Amino acid sequence: RFLQELVAVRNAGRRKRLDEELPCLRPLPDRRRESFKRVSVRVGTGSLIRADRNTYSVPSRLIGEWVEVRLYVEHVEVWYAQQEAVRFPRLRGRQKHAINYRHIIDWLVRKPGAFENYVYREELFPTTRFRMAYDALRQAQPKRGHKEYLGILYLAARQSETAVDEALRTLLTNDQPITQAAVESMVQRAEAVSAVTEVTVEEVDLSSFDELFLHKEVWDGCEGGCDGEVDGLLAGAALADVSGVF
Give CA–CA dist 120/29, Å, rounded: 44
Which uninterrupted H or E stretch holds 51? strand 48-51
pLDDT at 181 over 90: yes
Q: How confident is the model at residue 22 (pLDDT cuts 50, 70, 90)?
A: confident
* Residue 137 exposed, middle or buried by CB count within 10 Å (0-12, 13-18, 19+): buried
pLDDT tens digits, 121-175: 999 999 999 999 999 999 999 889 999 999 999 999 999 999 999 999 999 999 9
Q: If 0-12 CB within 10 Å is exposed, 13-18 middle and 19+ buried, where does residue 86 land?
A: buried
- Residue 104 has a pLDDT of 93
Q: Please state, in angstroms and rounded to a whole number, the distance separating the CA atoms of residues 172 and 168.
A: 6
pLDDT in tens, 36-72: 999 999 999 889 999 999 999 999 999 999 999 999 9
Single-letter amino acid, residue 241: D
* 96 Ramachandran zone, left/alpha/beta (phi>0; psi -120 to 50): beta
